[in-house]
Chains A and B, each alone.
Chain A
Amino acid sequence: MNEIDIALTVNGEPISERVEARKTLVDFLREDLGLTGSHVGCEHGVCGACTVRVNGAIVRGCLMLAVQCDGTIIETIEGLSDSGEVADLQAAFEQRNALQCGYCTPGMIAAAQDLLNRGGVPSRDQIREHLSGNYCRCTGYHAIVDAVESVAQERNKARAGAKR
């Protein structure tokens, strides 16, 4: 069996593990680290349920191998939740019922945060476009767009207030 040692930072914790070369990042997170908030939906990069952040950029956890993450900084929904970084997005999703079964939600929130980190208030079309790699079978997306739009407006207001 081809196994390789890797060292990386996951949600702020230093991690050293030996992994099979063929193991995907999302399987590593779920099976080796017990971080089951990242979900496996299609395992071929279409559904976005495994979206996590690697060195600040969102990636598909099923399209990256764990061994490629040696030396990287990984953030999953567990880390994003504990740090409070996406608390307003989570609250908006809950208020707007922008999730039903919740399986796509961790990936959806990571993708939405990626858009909102770019600043400004994106249009509904821009929000839809940015989330178009994240599959949700339950909501029909309308509520998700509402939730992301409302947080974009709130954050923009807060930024404008801070500048004043």
Chain B
Amino acid sequence: MKITDDSPPVLSALDRPNSYIGRSVPRPNLQRLTQGRGQYVSDVTLPRMAHVAFVRSPHAHARIKSIKVDAAKKAPGVIAVITGAELAKVMTPWVGVLTHLKGLKSAPQAPIAVERACWQGEAVAAVVARTRAQAEDACELVEVNYEPLPALTDPETALDAKTPVIHPSIADNLCFERKLDVGKVDEALASSDAVVETTFLFGRHTGVTTEPRSIVADWNVGEQKMTVYQGTQAPHMMQNLFAKHLGLAEHQVRVITKDVGGSFGIKVHTYADEMATVALSKLLKRPVKFVADRIESFVTDIHARDHRVKAKIGVRQDGTITAFEIDDLTGIGPYSVYPRTSGIEANQVVNLVGGPYTCPNYRAQARVVFTNKNVMCQYRAVGHPLAVAVTEGLVELAAAKIGMDPLELRRRNLIADDAYPAQSAAGLKFEKLSHHESLAHLDSLMNYAGLRAEQKKLREQGIYRGIGFASFIEVTNPSAAFYGVGGAKITSQDGATVKLDAQGALIVATGVTEQGQGAEAVVAQCVATAFGVPLERVRVITGDTDVTPYGGGTWASRAAGIGGEAAWQAGKALRANVLAVAGAMLQAKPETLDIRNGVVVDAASGTERLPLEELARVAYFRPDTLPAGIQAELVATRHYVPRAWPFAFTNGVQASYLEVDTDTGFVKLLKHWCVEDCGTIINPQLVDEQIRGGIVQGIGAALFEQCLYDERGQMLNGNMADYLVPMAAEMPDIECGHVVSPTADSELGAKGAGEAGTAGAPACVMNAINDALRPLHAAPLTDMPFTPGKILRALGKV
């Protein structure tokens, strides 16, 4: 099959002969996955391996008065029944705070609850048995005597004086608060021709990775070494945390991450269950496996979003946006999640609202409060879907109010393409964005004028279609500004080690991890191009803290931009090393030589001089024939971290075209478009697929997904029959377009692409629904997910 967008790159410094930069080459690791030969952690079995199942609190908040384990201990296959108090002797508790989020506070969290359970689903005891089924059987025999405590489930009441404080060790239920006031918001609003004020609600939802969280921990007493097989995005971060809380040195802990069945931010956090599993292995001196089942995933995988944002926009009749104002409130569960904290999403909302626009007046308040529901933390596109929905929702409501086309209103306010470097009202620094070019590209890609004409015609026939847009910015390639400066051992740099093997092929070890997004392919493309070998001669190793350079892993759309650059530099460094040897062998100056397609050539003429196989043979087996003083160094390591900018912002614009059935409230998605600018595109197909997958995840938030809780803190729909996710039949085809503004911070110029789709899609769908229903004078829908019931209520039909 021919890939139509496999086009040569439009690059200069990267435009080496046989370049793979900018080409849609298939990923090297796909065949084993299509054949069912992947190695997911849930597939791992080890000699003497035992399985753990957890007894979980049925109460949102309860004191644990007593736990009777005798019957469970006698059950078939049971090896141990362990309570929180016993496990606390092996593992220290943790507190999820970062010093740069000033004032953020949380309480110590233990791997298994000790005196109190603070959400429904928190583990209160562990049963380890020979099989998972036996462990689950014995869980039913553990008798826990609970004293139910008042459950705090409504964030709106969390700070009321009469509301009980969840953690006695901290003063109140406020986890974090941030305020921002830039420009003259009150004056700007007062001088506006129109002010739109509304409240946006975002459903609490979760990642629903196809493979649930999985871990096998193997404490080897003889080696004093803990080997952990874990489906994680950040092996080195987990190595640090396991070591720290078990009282081990980091070199005693090895984290191995092979195939991971989906991550999306769900698998970048520290979970009590995983910490308990590692502690149990240490305690029992044998491998212990934990794989969350789907019900457990729903009540223990981090949740996200669940924000209430009161928001206001001022606009003049000529379309000038005068001010944005927001008040964000979010309830994050009983603990700030370790070590990234649960303050980041609200902080991002404050940072990002109004970000694409020139409007200088912006006031924001965000409060993050504790509740007795499952914990919330960073999930794909952290804060962006909320900030974009608030900003773009306001923009389209304002456009409707002053009777201006929504694209035209954006054109009049988006930061000009020649205005960079620029800064947003919230203080975000932009190196180079392309809002206007992206918008123009989208306009023609979707045939906007044609769709408007079609929409008008169909309305006359009683068919209600809507067109909605969302301009967005996205944080990618984070520097140490994200976590490192706050004291967390989460590295923002990454490394790659490239080795020439004895047959002239390359082995690359990289600190970024493969979650399915194609990191291995991107790293291979960078190395193959920089060094000069066919792609088939590059093998990439990821996910092993004993083997790979120290790295951050995969999060915040960093693998290609940071990991790719490190790989590019390592490839270049090894090429220089190899050419030094080749120069000695060929009695030529190294700078007159190059490596192309696996052969050392004369750089000027391209004449073949020496196959790499021959060079490797001499360097490894006959180094005695090399001139005196020539030592071949056939391994090179390079690291990279962004230094010039705290983040490499990307930008783009999405559009949704949909039809609302005004009798049933059902939304049929007809088409979705995205034009984005992630800088240099290393692999166009992989970028498009990140965008598409991200968009569908965003559509899930807009139309289907919500973790429903009752007022007692009981999750009501913790299964896949009741919690709806996007399936193939309801999803549209998605067309992607690109504008390329490389970052000058790296030689590659690549920024991230992993979260742009999720950032913009919910806003887009919301705006399209409201556009469809506008002629029917429906109240604007701003309460996600937009279920048929909510749509019918907005239409006044129920």
Contacts and interface: CB of A to CB of B under 8 A. Distances in A.
Contacts of B726: 140-141
Contact of B692 (A20, A99, A125, A139): A139
A49 B602 CA distance: 53
Interface stretch (B33-41, B81-89, B195-203, B219-227): B33-41
A102 B719 contact: no
Contact of A135 (B689, B727, B734): B727
B697 A102 contact: no
Interface stretch (B23-31, B153-161, B325-333, B499-507): B23-31
A74 interface: no
Interface string A59-88: 000000000000000001110010000000
B150 interface: no
A35 B692 CA distance: 31
Nearest to A110: B36
Given A78-B35, A101-B515, A137 B731 contact: no
A10 interface: no
A125 to B, nearest CB: 8
A55 interface: no
Given A94-B34, A99-B33, A140 B731 contact: yes
Contacts of A101: 33, 209-211, 259-263, 515-516
Interface in B256-283: 259-264
Interface in A1-42: 1, 20, 22-23, 30, 35-42
Given A44-B719, A103-B210, A97 B26 contact: yes
A129 B728 CA distance: 7
B261 A46 contact: no
A100 B728 contact: no
A145 to B, nearest CB: 7
A135 B262 contact: no
A17 B692 CA distance: 44
B686 interface: yes
A102 B729 CA distance: 20
A139 B210 contact: no
A76 B36 contact: yes
B209 A47 contact: no
A99 B731 CA distance: 16
Given A128-B729, A128-B731, A42 B518 contact: no
A40 B41 CA distance: 12
Interface in B563-620: none
Contacts of B727: 132-135, 141
B721 interface: yes
A81 B35 CA distance: 6
B7 to A, nearest CB: 16
Interface residues of A, number: 60
Contact of A139 (B27, B31, B689): B689
A135 B725 contact: yes
Contacts of A150: 1
A38 B261 CA distance: 13
A106 B515 CA distance: 17
Contacts of B517: 100
Given A36-B43, A43-B293, A137-B207, A77 B1 contact: no
A123 interface: no
A41 B3 contact: no
A100 to B, nearest CB: 3
Nearest to B735: A142
B110 to A, nearest CB: 28
B685 interface: yes
B696 interface: yes
Contacts of B211: 39, 41, 101, 103
Given A43-B294, A142-B733, 16 more contacts: A36-B43, A39-B40, A39-B42, A41-B294, A42-B720, A78-B35, A78-B37, A81-B36, A92-B1, A97-B685, A100-B516, A100-B518, A102-B30, A102-B516, A104-B210, A132-B728
Interface of B: 1, 3, 26-27, 30-31, 33-38, 40, 42-43, 76, 133, 207-212, 259-264, 293-294, 515-518, 685-686, 689, 692-697, 719-721, 725-731, 733-734, 757
Which 7 residue pairs are nearest across A and B when measured between Cβ atoms?
A: A37-B36, A102-B33, A101-B516, A100-B516, A103-B261, A77-B36, A140-B696
24 contacts: A30-B43, A39-B211, A44-B719, A49-B210, A81-B36, A92-B1, A94-B27, A94-B30, A94-B34, A97-B30, A99-B34, A100-B518, A101-B33, A101-B209, A101-B261, A102-B30, A106-B36, A109-B34, A136-B210, A136-B728, A140-B696, A141-B696, A141-B726, A145-B733
